Structure 1
Amino acid sequence: MAKDRKPDAGRAGGGSSRSGSGARPASATRSSGGRGRTRPPTQVVTQQRPWGLIAAAIAVVVFAVAAITYAVVQVRQSDAERIDSLDEISGIESFDYAAGQEHVSTPVEYEQSPPVGGPHDGEWADCTGTVYDVDVRHENAVHSLEHGAVWIAYDPERVSGDDVEKLADLVDGVSGRLLSPYAGLDSAVSLQSWNHQLKVDSVDDPRIEQFADFLTFNGEVEGHYPEIGASCENPTFVADPLVVGDQSRGTDAMTTDAPTTPTAAADGSTTE
């Protein structure tokens, strides 16, 4: 009788001897493929410089420097052109008409042309930055000077068009100034304030603006602006300006004029 064969240790439950020997499971071997685990390739990111932002920042800095430089230059130029005394305006002439000149309704023969002081009409020409296109009556304009105004006159034969506009830009809307043509003027432009006068040959002369800026309503200049605080407004004169050759509207035409006190006139006589 034949004996039963013993199960082959290598086949029946024989996995124990192999596993004990450290053999890898088949699944592990297949997953590695004999080459080990494969990692995905690493992406290398290069940081780029923000050139657009840098350029914008530089532009802002350049603009700021330019703006500051321009402002400094303008301030220095303004300081250089600023006038602190009459002596700094070359060519200016000064006279000696005292305050308190009499009001008259008749024409006056003035020593200066245009006049800078003396007897004058009781009604003043409006000087609230008024631009006239007529030769205003001189006796009325002199009264405006007594109120602290600067009167810019020009020769219409030599100054016209854009040149008149340049002068008007200095006057229009600026209280204490008036502009008018003046027939027979011996210079292109003449500027008057009470007791002071400047004549120039060009509307581009920088002294025009210097004179106007320094002497308009300037009560600190000796002999200038006799009636501080007096009004420059006269709507009647704006609506119906008196011109050279017109008759006066009367010594009592204006009732709001500052009172005048009898004083010695330029020639030493007493006026009221």
Structure 2
Amino acid sequence: MPEDRTPDADDAAAAAKKDAPARRTPGKGAGGRQATPAGKGLGKGAGASGKGAGSRPGGKGGRTRPQQAAVAKPKPWGLIAAAVAVVVFAGAVIGYAVYAVNKSNADRITAADQIQGVQAFDYAAGQQHVTENVSYEENPPVGGPHDPYWADCTGTVYDIDIRHENAVHSLEHGAVWITYDPDVLSQDDVDTLAGIVQGNSGLMLSPYAGLATASDLGTPISLESWNHRLGVDSVDDPRIQQYVDFFTYGTDEDGTSLYPEVGASCQNPEFAANPLPAEASSEPIGSSDAPTTDSAAPATGSSTEPTATTAP
């Protein structure tokens, strides 16, 4: 017969059972699952996961993206070649400029006797002004008494043999007078001389009758300045330009002026428009700069032997 229990006894038994420790089977965890030794689960879980993700860094889904090979940029050889060409060209230009300046200085005339064949004379400065015709010792003349009205010498090209007394006055003002024999020179030769003269202050050109045969030079071309003269045979003679460059308003190497009236004008447009021919008498044409006398002493000058220190 079942044992009778009181309610109080049943409640005490239930409480005792509840407070008793749970019985566990060794080697198993909660719910009857066997406990995993320390580290073993990690080797398969976290470790395995690390093997998949960590063994291929940067990979997606465990795959590694192939690396791209670095490609070197090509050098701009075209630009380099162009830069080198510019530098070479600039060097050539500078080198030629230096050469040209040095050559120009080396060829520069600094004294009258550096021009081969130049004749020098000794007419005093301030020769008198006269209205009569003068018999000059040199032909063409280079100094002495002269007309009070000078011939225009502003790069003037005359087509007649102008009056010599007016031309000598222009030499006194620093001009170079180029004369030529019209019976010897061709028109092309005359044009070449005109190209040297035309428009250049301090120069004038005119024919000179009988220059090649009747003058004391015996050349078809002659260049005159105060106290100096040069005869040449050809318009291609480089001494023509040398003479023009040195004697037009010229000074010597020490700075001494080669003509008497420094600063005097070459302008006389009235004479340029109506030039007096060689055999004409004196006429008051245009400008005058000094008192005149009715007659003149013979125009004489002492010449030296032609110098020859520069090759033609």
TM-score by length of 1: 0.77
Q: Give the equivalent residue in structure 2 for 1:183.
A: 209
Q: Distance in 1 between matches of 2:60 and 2:243?
A: 103
- What's 2:268 paired with? 234
Letter in 2 for 1:246: A
Q: Which residue of 1 aligns with 2:177?
A: 151
Q: CA, structure 1 residues 21+184, in 2 after alignment: closer, same or farther (shift >3 Å)?
A: same
**Who is 2:249 aligned against?**
217
Aligned with 1:243 (options 258, 277, 297): 277
Structure 1 CA distance, aligned partners of 2:292 and 2:65?
108
Larger Rg: 1 or 2? 2
2:164 counterpart residue number: 138
The question of 1:207 aligning with 2:239 is answered: yes
Pairs within 5 Å for 1:1-272:
22=44, 36-186=62-212, 187-220=219-252, 224-250=258-284, 253-258=285-290, 267=300
Q: Is the 8 A contact 1:100 1:260 kept in 2?
A: no
In structure 2, the CA distance between the partners of 1:226 and 1:156, relative to structure 1 (3 Å rule), is same
> Equivalents in 2 of 1:78, 1:216: separation in Å?
18
User: Which deviations, in whole Å up to 9, do the C-alpha atoms of 1:184-224 show, x marking residues without a partner?
Assistant: 11213211011110001111222111211111112558794
1:34/1:140 CA distance change after superposition, 3 Å: closer
The answer to whether the 8 A contact 2:197-2:205 is kept is yes
SS state at 1:128 partner: coil
Q: Distance in 2 between matches of 1:244 and 1:265?
A: 18
For residues 194 and 87 of structure 1, the distance between their equivalents in structure 2, rounded to whole angstroms, comes to: 15
Deviation at residue 248 of structure 1 after TM alignment: 2.7
Q: Distance in 1 between matches of 2:275 and 2:197?
A: 17
Residues 67 and 260 of structure 1, relative CA distance in 2, 3 Å threshold = farther
Mapped to 2, the partners of 1:213 and 1:266 lie a distance apart of 27
Residues 161 and 57 (structure 1), Cα distance of their counterparts in 2 relative to 1, 3 Å cut: farther
- TM-score scaled to structure 2, two decimals? 0.68
Gaps in structure 1 of 5+ consecutive residues: 1-13
Counterpart CA distance in 1 for 2:274 and 2:287 is 18
8 Å CA contact 1:188, 1:203 repeated in 2? no
CA RMSD, Structure 1 to Structure 2 (Å): 3.4
Aligned-residue offset at 1:83: 1.2
CA spacing shift, 1:34–1:203, aligned 2, 3 Å? closer
Give, in whole Å, the separation in 1 of the partners of 2:279 and 2:233: 27
Q: Deviations 1:45-91 (Å, cap 9, x if unpaired)?
A: 22211111111111112111211221122112212211111121111
- Matched AA of 1:257: D
CA distance in 2, matches of 1:191, 1:258: 26
Q: CA deviation at 1:243?
A: 2.3
Question: Is contact 1:101-1:265 (8 Å) kept?
Answer: no
Alpha carbons 1:127, 1:233 under 8 Å: kept: yes
The size of the alignment, in residue pairs, is 248
